Amino acid sequence: MAPVPAIVDRQTWLRERAALLAREKAHTREHSAIAAARRRLPMTEVDASVRMVGEHGPTRVLDMFEGRDQLLVYKHMWHLDRPFEDQCRGCTAAVWNFHDATYLHARGVTFAVWCEGPYEQFAPFRDFMGYTHPWYSRHGVHSAGLTEENGICVYLRVEDRVFQTYETDGRGCEVMMPALQMLDMTVYGRQEDWEDSPAGWPQDPIQSWFRRDGRPIPQWTRPGATPVGQ
Protein backbone atom coordinates (compact mmCIF):
# COMPACT_ATOMS: atom_id res chain seq x y z
CA MET A 1 0.00 0.00 0.00
CA ALA A 2 1.30 3.45 -0.91
CA PRO A 3 2.02 5.92 1.90
CA VAL A 4 -0.71 8.45 2.69
CA PRO A 5 -0.69 12.00 4.13
CA ALA A 6 -0.81 12.59 7.85
CA ILE A 7 -4.27 12.39 9.40
CA VAL A 8 -5.32 15.50 11.37
CA ASP A 9 -8.51 16.98 12.79
CA ARG A 10 -10.71 19.20 10.64
CA GLN A 11 -9.58 22.52 12.15
CA THR A 12 -5.92 21.68 11.63
CA TRP A 13 -6.65 20.70 8.04
CA LEU A 14 -8.51 23.98 7.41
CA ARG A 15 -5.55 25.99 8.75
CA GLU A 16 -3.12 24.12 6.52
CA ARG A 17 -5.42 24.52 3.53
CA ALA A 18 -5.78 28.28 4.18
CA ALA A 19 -1.99 28.69 4.24
CA LEU A 20 -1.66 26.92 0.90
CA LEU A 21 -4.58 28.92 -0.54
CA ALA A 22 -2.67 32.15 0.13
CA ARG A 23 0.23 30.79 -1.96
CA GLU A 24 -2.15 29.66 -4.71
CA LYS A 25 -3.69 33.13 -4.92
CA ALA A 26 -0.21 34.68 -5.16
CA HIS A 27 0.59 32.20 -7.94
CA THR A 28 -2.58 33.19 -9.81
CA ARG A 29 -1.69 36.88 -9.52
CA GLU A 30 1.83 36.19 -10.82
CA HIS A 31 0.36 34.19 -13.70
CA SER A 32 -1.78 37.21 -14.62
CA ALA A 33 1.23 39.51 -14.35
CA ILE A 34 3.24 37.30 -16.70
CA ALA A 35 0.34 37.25 -19.17
CA ALA A 36 0.25 41.06 -18.99
CA ALA A 37 3.98 41.19 -19.79
CA ARG A 38 3.43 38.75 -22.66
CA ARG A 39 0.86 41.11 -24.16
CA ARG A 40 3.52 43.84 -24.12
CA LEU A 41 6.17 41.89 -26.02
CA PRO A 42 7.26 43.39 -29.34
CA MET A 43 6.64 41.39 -32.50
CA THR A 44 8.70 40.40 -35.51
CA GLU A 45 7.56 39.99 -39.11
CA VAL A 46 7.51 36.60 -40.84
CA ASP A 47 6.92 35.68 -44.46
CA ALA A 48 3.15 35.57 -44.95
CA SER A 49 3.53 34.05 -48.41
CA VAL A 50 5.13 30.80 -47.21
CA ARG A 51 3.03 27.81 -48.22
CA MET A 52 2.54 24.54 -46.38
CA VAL A 53 0.56 21.56 -47.66
CA GLY A 54 -2.76 21.01 -45.94
CA GLU A 55 -6.08 19.31 -46.59
CA HIS A 56 -6.78 21.68 -49.48
CA GLY A 57 -3.28 21.68 -50.95
CA PRO A 58 -0.52 24.27 -50.60
CA THR A 59 -1.79 27.04 -48.30
CA ARG A 60 -0.23 30.41 -47.51
CA VAL A 61 0.40 31.24 -43.87
CA LEU A 62 -1.77 34.30 -44.42
CA ASP A 63 -4.70 32.10 -45.42
CA MET A 64 -4.31 29.83 -42.39
CA PHE A 65 -5.80 32.63 -40.26
CA GLU A 66 -9.17 31.84 -41.91
CA GLY A 67 -10.08 35.52 -41.75
CA ARG A 68 -9.27 35.91 -38.05
CA ASP A 69 -6.60 38.22 -36.66
CA GLN A 70 -4.54 35.72 -34.69
CA LEU A 71 -3.15 32.25 -35.35
CA LEU A 72 -2.05 29.92 -32.54
CA VAL A 73 0.05 27.03 -33.83
CA TYR A 74 1.14 23.79 -32.21
CA LYS A 75 4.20 22.39 -33.97
CA HIS A 76 3.91 18.61 -33.98
CA MET A 77 7.00 16.42 -34.26
CA TRP A 78 6.98 13.55 -36.73
CA HIS A 79 9.14 10.43 -37.03
CA LEU A 80 9.49 9.82 -40.75
CA ASP A 81 8.25 6.51 -42.13
CA ARG A 82 7.30 5.23 -38.66
CA PRO A 83 3.89 3.71 -37.80
CA PHE A 84 1.28 5.58 -35.76
CA GLU A 85 2.28 3.90 -32.51
CA ASP A 86 5.85 5.21 -32.84
CA GLN A 87 4.91 8.87 -33.22
CA CYS A 88 5.79 11.45 -30.55
CA ARG A 89 4.06 10.58 -27.27
CA GLY A 90 4.31 14.15 -25.96
CA CYS A 91 2.82 15.73 -29.09
CA THR A 92 0.09 13.09 -29.10
CA ALA A 93 -0.80 13.89 -25.49
CA ALA A 94 -0.80 17.65 -26.14
CA VAL A 95 -2.99 17.69 -29.24
CA TRP A 96 -5.30 14.96 -27.89
CA ASN A 97 -6.04 17.11 -24.86
CA PHE A 98 -7.23 19.98 -27.06
CA HIS A 99 -10.03 18.93 -29.37
CA ASP A 100 -12.19 22.05 -29.68
CA ALA A 101 -11.08 25.58 -30.58
CA THR A 102 -14.54 27.14 -30.32
CA TYR A 103 -13.58 29.55 -27.55
CA LEU A 104 -10.41 30.58 -29.38
CA HIS A 105 -12.47 31.30 -32.48
CA ALA A 106 -14.82 33.46 -30.41
CA ARG A 107 -11.83 35.66 -29.55
CA GLY A 108 -10.57 35.88 -33.11
CA VAL A 109 -7.90 33.16 -32.78
CA THR A 110 -7.50 30.27 -35.22
CA PHE A 111 -5.81 27.09 -34.02
CA ALA A 112 -3.73 24.93 -36.37
CA VAL A 113 -1.15 22.16 -36.22
CA TRP A 114 2.05 22.41 -38.23
CA CYS A 115 3.58 18.95 -38.53
CA GLU A 116 7.20 18.09 -39.33
CA GLY A 117 6.15 15.20 -41.53
CA PRO A 118 4.96 15.09 -45.16
CA TYR A 119 1.22 15.56 -45.53
CA GLU A 120 0.71 12.15 -47.13
CA GLN A 121 2.24 10.51 -44.06
CA PHE A 122 0.38 12.33 -41.31
CA ALA A 123 -3.03 12.73 -43.00
CA PRO A 124 -4.00 9.09 -42.21
CA PHE A 125 -2.75 9.61 -38.64
CA ARG A 126 -4.92 12.73 -38.28
CA ASP A 127 -7.92 10.75 -39.51
CA PHE A 128 -7.11 7.83 -37.19
CA MET A 129 -6.95 10.16 -34.18
CA GLY A 130 -10.21 11.87 -35.19
CA TYR A 131 -8.70 15.35 -35.15
CA THR A 132 -10.71 18.13 -36.79
CA HIS A 133 -8.16 20.95 -36.44
CA PRO A 134 -6.45 21.98 -39.68
CA TRP A 135 -3.04 20.33 -40.08
CA TYR A 136 -0.30 21.59 -42.39
CA SER A 137 3.04 20.11 -43.34
CA ARG A 138 6.18 22.13 -42.66
CA HIS A 139 8.27 19.34 -44.16
CA GLY A 140 10.92 20.84 -46.43
CA VAL A 141 9.86 24.40 -45.58
CA HIS A 142 12.53 26.70 -44.17
CA SER A 143 11.52 30.15 -42.98
CA ALA A 144 12.66 32.08 -39.90
CA GLY A 145 9.98 32.41 -37.25
CA LEU A 146 7.78 29.81 -38.92
CA THR A 147 9.50 26.45 -39.03
CA GLU A 148 12.69 26.28 -37.00
CA GLU A 149 11.28 25.98 -33.47
CA ASN A 150 8.99 23.34 -31.96
CA GLY A 151 6.28 23.97 -29.39
CA ILE A 152 3.60 26.67 -29.51
CA CYS A 153 3.84 29.86 -31.57
CA VAL A 154 1.42 32.77 -31.91
CA TYR A 155 1.05 35.06 -34.91
CA LEU A 156 -0.83 38.30 -35.56
CA ARG A 157 -2.21 39.33 -38.95
CA VAL A 158 -2.11 43.04 -39.79
CA GLU A 159 -3.84 43.36 -43.17
CA ASP A 160 -1.60 41.25 -45.46
CA ARG A 161 1.39 41.12 -43.13
CA VAL A 162 2.05 38.48 -40.47
CA PHE A 163 4.04 38.93 -37.26
CA GLN A 164 5.21 36.48 -34.63
CA THR A 165 4.22 37.65 -31.15
CA TYR A 166 5.11 34.69 -28.89
CA GLU A 167 6.60 31.22 -28.66
CA THR A 168 7.13 28.58 -25.97
CA ASP A 169 8.29 24.99 -25.80
CA GLY A 170 9.03 22.23 -23.30
CA ARG A 171 6.81 22.54 -20.24
CA GLY A 172 5.33 25.72 -21.69
CA CYS A 173 3.24 23.42 -23.89
CA GLU A 174 1.54 21.97 -20.80
CA VAL A 175 -1.06 24.69 -21.26
CA MET A 176 -2.64 22.30 -23.79
CA MET A 177 -2.79 19.43 -21.28
CA PRO A 178 -5.27 20.27 -18.51
CA ALA A 179 -5.01 16.67 -17.29
CA LEU A 180 -1.57 17.56 -15.89
CA GLN A 181 -2.91 20.52 -13.92
CA MET A 182 -5.69 18.29 -12.58
CA LEU A 183 -3.14 15.67 -11.53
CA ASP A 184 -1.21 18.42 -9.73
CA MET A 185 -4.26 18.80 -7.48
CA THR A 186 -4.19 15.16 -6.40
CA VAL A 187 -2.27 13.84 -3.42
CA TYR A 188 0.13 11.74 -5.52
CA GLY A 189 0.51 14.35 -8.29
CA ARG A 190 1.74 13.28 -11.72
CA GLN A 191 3.78 10.50 -10.14
CA GLU A 192 6.84 11.47 -12.18
CA ASP A 193 10.29 10.99 -10.69
CA TRP A 194 11.30 14.67 -11.03
CA GLU A 195 8.50 15.82 -8.71
CA ASP A 196 9.20 16.91 -5.14
CA SER A 197 7.05 14.41 -3.24
CA PRO A 198 7.30 12.89 0.25
CA ALA A 199 9.49 9.81 0.62
CA GLY A 200 7.76 6.66 -0.58
CA TRP A 201 5.17 8.45 -2.75
CA PRO A 202 4.44 6.44 -5.93
CA GLN A 203 6.55 7.66 -8.84
CA ASP A 204 6.90 6.39 -12.38
CA PRO A 205 10.36 6.97 -13.90
CA ILE A 206 9.24 5.89 -17.38
CA GLN A 207 6.21 8.21 -17.38
CA SER A 208 3.84 5.45 -18.47
CA TRP A 209 0.92 7.89 -18.52
CA PHE A 210 2.41 8.97 -21.91
CA ARG A 211 2.66 5.49 -23.39
CA ARG A 212 1.37 2.05 -22.50
CA ASP A 213 1.41 -1.37 -24.19
CA GLY A 214 3.32 -0.07 -27.18
CA ARG A 215 1.24 3.02 -28.00
CA PRO A 216 0.75 6.60 -26.82
CA ILE A 217 -2.20 6.19 -24.45
CA PRO A 218 -4.72 8.36 -26.38
CA GLN A 219 -4.44 5.96 -29.33
CA TRP A 220 -6.11 3.21 -27.31
CA THR A 221 -9.36 5.21 -27.49
CA ARG A 222 -9.43 5.00 -31.27
CA PRO A 223 -11.42 2.45 -33.27
CA GLY A 224 -9.13 -0.15 -34.77
CA ALA A 225 -6.26 0.32 -32.30
CA THR A 226 -4.70 -3.07 -31.72
CA PRO A 227 -1.80 -4.32 -29.59
CA VAL A 228 1.49 -3.67 -31.35
CA GLY A 229 2.64 -6.65 -33.38
CA GLN A 230 -0.85 -8.05 -33.99
Interval 179-212: pLDDT, tens: 999 999 999 999 988 899 999 999 887 767 788 8
Query: Which pTM value belongs to this model?
Result: 0.92
The total of other beta-carbon atoms located within 10 Å of residue 76's CB is 24
Whether pLDDT at 177 is above 70: yes
Q: What confidence score (pLDDT) does residue 229 get?
A: 58
The CATH classification number of 44-174 equals: 3.40.30.10
State the angle between helix axes of 119-129 and 89-96 in degrees (0 to 180), rounded to the nearest 10.
Answer: 50
Each domain of the chain, given as residue ranges in start order, spans 44-174
Q: What confidence score (pLDDT) does residue 206 get?
A: 72
For 15-19, 23-27, 134-138, 142-146, which range has the lowest pLDDT when averaged over its residues? 142-146
Provide the β-strand partners of residue 59.
52
* Cα(194)–Cα(57) distance, integer angstroms: 43
At residue 196, the 3 state secondary structure works out as: coil
Most confident of 119-133, 188-202, 210-224: 119-133
Provide the β-strand partners of residue 136.
114
